[in-house]
Amino acid sequence: MSAPCVIFDLDGTLIDSVPAIHAISNTVLREMGLAELSEPKVRSFVGKGVPNLVRQLLIASGKDPDGPLFAQAEAALLAHYETDLEGNTPYPFVIEALDQLSEMGCALAICTNKPLKPAEAVLDYLGLRERFTLVLGGDSLPSRKPDPEMLRACHVRLGGGPMVYVGDSEVDAQTAENANAPFVLYTEGYRHTPVQDLPHQVAFADYRMLPGIIGRFQKDTA
Ligand SMILES: O=C(O)COP(=O)(O)O
Ligand SMILES: [Mg+2]
């Protein structure tokens, strides 16, 4: 009976990163002489990677997302993304759940639309990086989620076999569907859609439940 590998989304799944992304976004907007945006507004832009975040910040500021400001805002955002790490916190009981999954023999990986360098920087900042065999970011491959290629590549690089994908958003549900992968939904992240309307195998709101959920997949796939 082999333990499934568990591939995690990052923002809104393992870590609450919106306070940090909100702060960075407002730093960039200030640098460009634009008005700050509220945290709920910025939260609604998270999940589809940096190009989408930058586009949405410009649109919300009444600017042309296809104009010259895009490159300026994207460069500024990426510069801050790797260094302004305050405001990133793991969700409650994430560490304990990761410990337990590792004890169960699960290989752990991250498949995030956050670019690789900021993803690695925040994992280092939180002391989590060593727990993951592999991290793929939104700029690691030619396409990002919901294209299934990232999830597939992650799975292949982990050696194949039983796997479960854990994420928080519409993008993650769609990615899992596109990759034909079992999807476990963390309900406390940044989704816009009611839980019952997002395709998923299992939903959970408390990380103390996750090892048991993954254990059920282990039995199912034995
Ligand atoms: O960078 C983003 O948009 C968030 O990425 P994630 O939810 O895929 O971790
Ligand atoms: Mg997410």
- For the chain, the first-to-last Cα distance in angstroms comes to 5
Could you report the per-residue pLDDT of 98-152, keeping only the tens digit for each? 999 999 999 999 999 999 999 999 999 999 999 999 999 999 999 999 999 999 9
Q: What is the pLDDT of residue 218?
A: 79
Tell which atom from ligand 1 comes closest to the C-alpha of 168: 7
79, pLDDT greater than 60: yes
Question: In the structure, which protein residues have their CB atom closer than 6 angstroms to any atom of ligand 1?
Answer: 9-12, 46-49, 53, 112-114, 138, 169
Residues with active-site annotation = 9
pTM attached to this predicted model: 0.96
Question: CA 216 from chain center: how many Å?
Answer: 23
User: Strand pairing of 202-204 and 183-186?
Assistant: parallel
User: Strand pairing of 5-8 and 108-111?
Assistant: parallel
Q: Within 13 A of 174's CA, how many CA atoms are on the CB side?
A: 11
The annotation places the binding site at: 9, 11, 168
Q: How far apart are CA 158 and CA 136, in angstroms?
A: 12
Cα(50) to centroid of ligand 2, in Å? 13
Could you report the per-residue pLDDT of 16-74, keeping only the tens digit for each? 999 999 999 999 999 999 999 999 999 999 999 999 999 999 999 999 999 999 999 99
222, pLDDT greater than 50: no
Tell which atom from ligand 1 comes closest to the C-alpha of 111: 8
Average pLDDT across the chain, whole number? 96
All residues at 6 or more sequence positions from 84 whose CB lies less than 8 Å from its CB, including other chains: 20, 23, 24, 27
The annotation places the binding site for Mg(2+) at: 9, 11, 168
ipTM entry: 0.96
Domains and CATH numbers, the chain: 5-16+89-221 (3.40.50.1000), 18-81 (1.10.150.240)
| β-strand partners of 111 | 136
Q: Within 13 A of 62's CA, how many CA atoms are on the CB side?
A: 4
Residue % of the chain over a pLDDT of 70: 98
Could you report the per-residue pLDDT of 187-198, keeping only the tens digit for each? 999 999 999 999
Cis peptide before 40 (omega within 30 of 0): no
Q: What is the pLDDT of residue 214?
A: 97
Q: How far apart are CA 211 and CA 201, in angstroms?
A: 15
Backbone angles phi, psi at 124, to 5 degrees: -65, -45
Q: What is the pLDDT of residue 219?
A: 57
Cα(169) to centroid of ligand 2, in Å? 6
Q: How far apart are CA 98 and CA 102, in angstroms?
A: 6
Backbone angles phi, psi at 8, to 5 degrees: -110, 140
Q: How far apart are CA 51 and CA 94, in angstroms?
A: 28
